A and B are shown apart, each in its own frame.
Chain A
Amino acid sequence: MSYVAAKGGAQAIQAAHQLVAERNAPNPDDLQAQIAQHLHLSIDRIMAEASLYDRDIAAKALLQAQGDSIEAVFIVRAYRATLSRFLDSAPLNLGHANMQRHISAAFKDIPGGQQLGATYDYSHRLLGYFQNLQGPDESAAHAAIPSADTKAPNTHKKSGVMDILETEGLIEKSSTEPADAENRDITQIPPGFPASRAQRLQTLARADEGFVLGMAYSTQRGYGQNHPFIAELSHGSVNVEICPPELGFSLCIGTIEMTECQMINQFQGDSPETATFTRGYGLVFGHNERKAIAMALLDRALRAQELGEKVEAPAQDEEFVLSHCDNVEATGFVEHLKLPHHVDFQSEISTLRALRAQSLSTTARHDDTL
């Protein structure tokens, strides 16, 4: 894989760093609020892996877990189990989201323009880097390199890079078939194998970031290659809409932050006319680009069977990935080894002693016969 060196964007990058620095500004409020503000990315990770969007609960859990994020996820999951489910939201419409960050690695010019948002992608990884940033240069604030596309305000207008490719017939069309009963919520109906794509995506959205990252990395290193390009990576606030049966109309009840990754992958088809690129998709609570990208890579790898590819690598094996990606399940089984296993072990040790004793006596008898 290669990339073309790019230049430009110094002012945009400076503004992007300023946004990061602002989130680091001291706040005299209580500790939980400070955690929610300063460690917001950590909070976002807990919300995603606990599968419950609530900053207050995630901050409280992280504090109680003394910073152990898997423990915090466990606490939030346990709390989540006490909540009754009132209703389901309408599917989020990310096309109408207020995007704070919206970039494409596949196209240089995208409708609405590339917007960096708050990012440290271009920063030096130096301690204290953001404390020593220069204040915003007001004269430069409006001097962002103009282009026809970037003049229009970006709110409520997200480009459809994928839509453009879809119109040209260069990328596979997504199925809009309503999910059947088997595609329903894995928290209500335990999933089996083979799993549907909806079940896989729900499982990955709450999967451990480290696991998803490692598996995604393995696809890039050759264990189930899929030649990915990020068509769009976005982070922003998305409206939550519900349609309560009591009212019979739908309404927006607020916004949540989401990160979405649309990945373009190697093309497929029997002939050049029908060959299209394939899709991988990642959608995660909060601001978590690493997870969204990794999820999109893994989503694509797990579609191997559907797309007629050989399932050879671990990342393509849904039973392997889906059964091991949940950190609450994993930590439960791994850490239960700390609990007393005295009786188990006594039985093992007495078996071994008995075998030894038997072996000794057989040897002794053997010696006698000589």
Chain B
Amino acid sequence: MSNSAKTNPHSVAQRPDWMRELAVASLEDFQMISPMVKSWPDYQILEGPEVGSIMIHGRIAGNGSPFPVGECRITRCIVEDAQGHTGYSWILGQHTERALWAARWDTLLQDSTHFQALWNQAIQPLQQKRIRKEQAVADKMQRTQVQFFSMENMRT
């Protein structure tokens, strides 16, 4: 990240949050939020979007030493915009178009002039959408909560 770039110090703390929402946003999501950006800065691709893998690790017995479980396919992209912000993206699966969008959004959100508006208008709705989706699954699954009774005396 170059020093000339206008970076909002508060936004850095939120960077993992926006990168997460961008990593799971669909192409339709990007098509929906991208018109909110009045003028896209010029950018150049530093790397990718390229497809590779990451090794997923678990822990022995769930809480012990780590061990590798298997790999996961992933797409990554690195871009730099005209103001010197470097944007990164790592996305599960092969999604080159989404990876490029996510990296470009990552540069944009580092810029203090746009940060707050884009955070409110684009990232927060994505976050809410994801949480709603997760909640819907959780609600559905919760209908299968059960308490079995032992047969001997129907005690709980």
Stretch at the interface among A90-98, A317-325, A357-365: A90-98
- Any A CB within 8 A of the CB of B36: no
Cα distance A104–B71 when bound, in Å?
29
User: Whole-angstrom distance between the alpha carbons of A145 and B42 in the complex?
Assistant: 59
Q: How far is the CA of A240 from the CA of B71 in the complex (A)?
A: 12
Residues of A within 8 A of B91 (CB): 253-254
Chain A residues with CB below 8 A from B73, complex form? 52-54, 57, 83
Most buried by B among A12, A55, A57: A12
A71 CB to nearest chain B CB (Å)? 19
Which residues of B are found within 8 Å of A95, using beta-carbon distances? 62
Measured CA separation A114–B59 after assembly (Å): 23
Shortest 4 CB-CB distances between A and B: which pairs? A174-B64, A12-B146, A198-B67, A9-B146
- Asked whether A6 lies within 8 Å of B149 as measured between CB atoms, the reply is yes
Query: Taking the nearest CB of chain B, how far is it from the CB of A119, in angstroms?
Result: 8
Q: Encode contact with A along B79-91: 1 for CB under 8 Å, 0 otherwise.
A: 0000000001011
Interface residue? A366 (CB, 8 A): no
Q: A83-B53, A144-B145, A254-B92 are in contact. Are A94 and B64 (CB under 8 A)?
A: no
Which residues of the other chain, A, contact B62 by a CB distance below 8 angstroms? Answer: 94-95, 162, 174, 260, 262, 281, 283
A-B contact pairs, 23 of them (CB 8 A): A6-B148, A8-B147, A9-B146, A52-B71, A83-B53, A94-B58, A95-B62, A98-B134, A100-B141, A115-B141, A136-B143, A144-B143, A155-B138, A175-B60, A176-B63, A178-B65, A178-B66, A184-B68, A201-B58, A201-B67, A252-B16, A254-B92, A281-B62
Tell whether, in the assembled complex, residue A240 and residue B151 are in contact, meaning their CB atoms are under 8 Å apart: no
Contact (Cβ within 8 A) A113 B146 = yes
Interface residues of B in 25-76 (CB under 8 A from A): 51-74, 76
* Interface check A183, CB cutoff 8 A: yes
Q: Assess whether A64 is interfacial by the CB under 8 Å rule.
A: no
Chain B residue at smallest Cβ distance from A8: B149
Tell me if A117 counts as interface (CB < 8 A to partner B). Answer: yes
By the criterion CB–CB under 8 Å, are A7 and B142 in contact? no
A109-B147, A145-B147, A174-B63 known; A52-B53 Cβ under 8 A: yes
User: Which residue in chain B gives the minimum CB-CB distance to A10?
Assistant: B146
Measured CA separation A84–B15 after assembly (Å):
26
Q: Please give, as numbers and ranges, the residues of chain B lying within 8 Å of A246 by CB-CB distance.
A: 78, 88
Which residues does chain B contribute within 8 Å of A244, judged by CB atoms? 88, 90
Say whether A40 faces chain B, with CB atoms less than 8 Å apart.
Answer: no
State the Cβ distance, A19 to closest chain B Cβ, in Å.
Answer: 7
The answer, yes or no, to whether A1 is at the interface (CB within 8 Å) is no
List residues of B whose CB falls within 8 A of some A CB.
15-16, 19-20, 23-24, 51-74, 76, 78, 88, 90-94, 134-135, 137-138, 140-152, 154, 156
CB neighbors of B among A199-224 (8 A): 199, 201-202, 205-206
B57 touches A54 (CB 8 A): no
A195–B72 Cα distance when bound, in Å, is 24
Contact of B71 among A80, A141, A144, A174 (CB under 8 A): A80
Tell whether, in the assembled complex, residue B150 and residue A108 are in contact, meaning their CB atoms are under 8 Å apart: yes
B143 to A15, Cβ gap below 8 A?
Answer: yes
| Of the residues B24, B60, B93, contact of A281 by C-beta under 8 Å | B60
The distance in angstroms between the C-alpha atoms of A47 and B56, with both chains bound, is 13
Binds B, one of A146-154, A267-275, A345-353: A146-154
In the assembled complex, the CB of A51 is this many whole angstroms from the nearest CB of chain B, namely: 4
The smallest C-beta distance from A328 to any residue of chain B, in angstroms, reads 14
Known: A6-B149, A87-B54. A262 touches B138 (CB 8 A): no
Could you tell me if B143 and A84 are in contact, using CB atoms closer than 8 angstroms?
no
B64 touches A113 (CB 8 A): no
Of B54, B58, B73, B148, most A-chain CB atoms within 10 Å: B58
User: Quick check: A7 and B151 within 8 Å, CB to CB?
Assistant: yes
Q: Which residues of A contact B138 (CB under 8 A)?
A: 98, 153-155
A176:B65 contact, CB within 8 angstroms: yes
- Residues of chain B within 8 A (CB-CB) of A202 are 67-70
Give A246 Cβ to nearest chain B Cβ, in Å.
6
Q: How far is the CA of A285 from the CA of B70 in the complex (A)?
A: 8
A251 within 8 A of B: yes
Contact of A253 among B20, B67, B150 (CB under 8 A): B20
Contact A147 B147 (CB under 8 A): yes
Could you tell me the distance between the alpha carbons of A136 and B51 in the complex, rounded to whole angstroms?
A: 42
Q: Do A91 and B146 touch (CB < 8 A)?
A: no
**B71 contacts A83, CB within 8 Å?**
yes
Say whether B142 contacts A115, CB under 8 Å. Answer: yes
Residues of B within 8 A of A7 (CB): 148-151, 154
Minimum CB distance partner of A6 in chain B: B148
